[in-house]
Structure 1
Amino acid sequence: MTVADRLAALDRRTLALDVREAILTITITRPEVLNALSPEVIAELREVVGILRDGIGAGTDPDWSVRGVVITGAGPKAFVAGADIARMREMTAEQADAYTAEAQELTSWLETLPVPVVAAVNGFALGGGCELAMACDVILASENAAFGQPEVALGLIPGFGGCVRLQQYVGIAAARELILTGRRISAAEAERLGLVSRVLEDQDALLAAAREIIALAARQSPTAVAAAKRTVRAAQAHPTDAGLAIEREAFVARFGTPDMLEGTAAFVEKRRPEFTGA
């Protein structure tokens, strides 16, 4: 079974999945609670992302039937308004530890998928919603989007990666302010701070832009895109010299691969390359 076939066979209650033109769109479908990340939502997201991790580009016969992922929320009000507070209130410390462990692992899986992942933020992306978006490669926002880490207002702190990833996006000074105050920011301010790549007029424009980004990436060598994604992430936490060494090693590893040979030949011959993902 292809990755797309395995996804179609899943039993889902909180997600809608749509695979078209090798783009998987994941829609969180709990609009009545602003798409809050309950344990069930996290479990279903882990199932989906687990299938992608195990299938795309893996092994000697890689499956590239999905070339990118868009994550969004149902309805115009929210991407994900946060974790499920009503459920969290009843958790013991042991249950909370399992909850955050699974959510953190999910965000790490998203971050390390070999294909581009775009968060299409339509409305609130607060708490766990902001953390889910930050695990994606690109964040796009509609004009009505709002971002924030308001956990301190609940007597909590970010627990799904916000303390780590927010400073990677906006820098330590802005991250400290937002985390310590719980202040909510608009899509325009999020774009100015570097959290958001682009602000679009409405949800339709948002999803069209997300698909356009993935479609453009899908015209490139899938193994080169995967290598570039790994290299950017690996170099991120290192000083310049160490980061350059990581980049050099990854660059050299591309030489002699079928996709590299095809891409360079196509350039010289002035034709469109036919990549096989090898």
Structure 2
Amino acid sequence: GSNSFCTLLDMFALRRAAAQRASVVTVASAMRLQSGRRGNQGPRGGNAPPQGMSQQQMQQQMQQQRAMEQMQQMQQQAEAENEDEVPPPPPKKPEDSKFTKVDVNADGIAVVRMSRAPVNSLNLEFFTELADWFMWLSTDESGCKSVVLTSDIATVFSAGIDITELHEPQAERFERFWMSFQEIWLVLNSYPKPVIAAINGNSPAGGCILSICCDYRVMARASLKDPANPKPYRIGLNETKLGIIAPPWVMKSLAYTIGDRKAEKMLQLGETPTADEALAMGLVDRVVEETEVLDVAMKEAAKFGAIPAE
């Protein structure tokens, strides 16, 4: 509901301030989502790292765990503070947006276009900018009733996380990056307004993660650059093929969407099914031709937005 989302915004404000002081990463709410989850993509779960994990990957996991513990301590401290403390100011409309184009039409449908060439790779600044826009669109000031999340780049929704954020990362930036990743995930999963994904191209890894956070997913079937030989678009979590382990909260999101067994198989093998295959397994809700994606998503946004919020 709107009250819980306002609480989430307050928590983000506290967390961002704390991160500036202490370089703390992660979001406390993610801790609750850890219970009962597998620690890796192994067929029996468990917390032991898979064979072949590099030292760098193990260090990254340790950093993530330490950050989660630090954020849990922050949450406990924040809950113990005086309830009369002045709340953070409401979200402001982002200025000088570099990677995101946003328009709100007369019907209150906001179209958020990711625009970080060449393939919308997701880095710290991009995640932060996306979260800032969604926070502002949650306010009454924005006039937004529902949101369509899409790409401004033909043939790709998002290629996923910018791999340079993971290659020999500087510790302080890596913590901030991980915080921004979890922040946009929490924003979308707890958003008080409907969010429709208009997946207009390939959507592996982080692109798939963004889409499964949305309420409804419309995906293009194939690229029509060569009508005589259309190339199917694909979506899925292929991190294991890159030697990367998906976070537990991402695993749970995928399992919630397509079921435990299908999610486990996709995570183990790094599968990226075609749009039609994704539709059959429930990873997307509708598949249309490339030229129809945005129009169909806009109609769904109007339909979802017409439902009373409370």
* Aligned: 1:79 with 2:132: no
Tell me, what secondary structure is at the counterpart of 1:178?
helix
Once the two structures are superposed, the pairs formed by residues 17-96 of structure 1 within 5 Å of their partners are 17-20=102-105, 21-32=107-118, 34-53=119-138, 55-56=139-140, 65-92=143-170, 95-96=173-174
Identity %: 28
- Residue in structure 1 matching 2:251, options 163, 180, 189: 163
Once the two structures are superposed, the pairs formed by residues 114-125 of structure 1 within 5 Å of their partners are 114-125=192-203
CA, structure 1 residues 50+160, in 2 after alignment: closer, same or farther (shift >3 Å)?
A: farther
Deviation string 1:135-171 (CA, Å, 9 cap, x unpaired) is 1111110002311211112221123942121101111
C-alpha distance in 1, partners of 2:255/2:104? Answer: 33
C-alpha distance in 2, partners of 1:183/1:219? Answer: 36
Partner of 1:251: none
CA, structure 1 residues 156+172, in 2 after alignment: closer, same or farther (shift >3 Å)?
A: same
The AA in structure 1 aligned to 2:104 is V
Partner of 2:296: 209
**TM-score, normalised relative to structure 1:** 0.70
Deviation at 1:23, TM superposition (A): 0.8
C-alpha distance in 2, partners of 1:152/1:96? Answer: 20
- Unaligned runs of 5+ residues in structure 2 are 1-90, 223-232
- Residue in structure 2 matching 1:187, options 275, 285, 288: 275
C-alpha distance in 1, partners of 2:306/2:135? Answer: 24
C-alpha distance in 2, partners of 1:85/1:111? Answer: 24
Deviation string 1:11-56 (CA, Å, 9 cap, x unpaired) is 2001111111211111111231x11111111010111122234x24
CA, structure 1 residues 96+154, in 2 after alignment: closer, same or farther (shift >3 Å)?
A: farther
Tell me, what secondary structure is at the counterpart of 2:160?
coil
Partner of 1:111: 189
Deviation at 1:75, TM superposition (A): 2.2
Deviation at 1:218, TM superposition (A): 2.9
Deviation at 1:184, TM superposition (A): 1.3
- Unaligned runs of 5+ residues in structure 1 are 57-62, 225-278
CA, structure 1 residues 217+27, in 2 after alignment: closer, same or farther (shift >3 Å)?
A: same
**TM-score, normalised relative to structure 2:** 0.63
Higher-helix-fraction structure:
1
CA, structure 1 residues 160+28, in 2 after alignment: closer, same or farther (shift >3 Å)?
A: farther
Deviation string 1:156-204 (CA, Å, 9 cap, x unpaired) is 11239421211011111111111111121110111000110000111x3
Count of matched residue positions in the alignment of Structure 1 and Structure 2: 209
Tell me, what secondary structure is at the counterpart of 1:66?
coil
Q: Does structure 1 conserve the Cα–Cα contact (< 8 Å) formed by 2:165 and 2:174?
A: no
* RMSD, aligned α-carbons: 2.1
Q: Does structure 2 conserve the Cα–Cα contact (< 8 Å) formed by 1:100 and 1:160?
A: no
CA, structure 1 residues 186+44, in 2 after alignment: closer, same or farther (shift >3 Å)?
A: same
The AA in structure 2 aligned to 1:29 is S
Deviation string 1:67-97 (CA, Å, 9 cap, x unpaired) is 0011111222210111001232131455434
The AA in structure 1 aligned to 2:160 is G
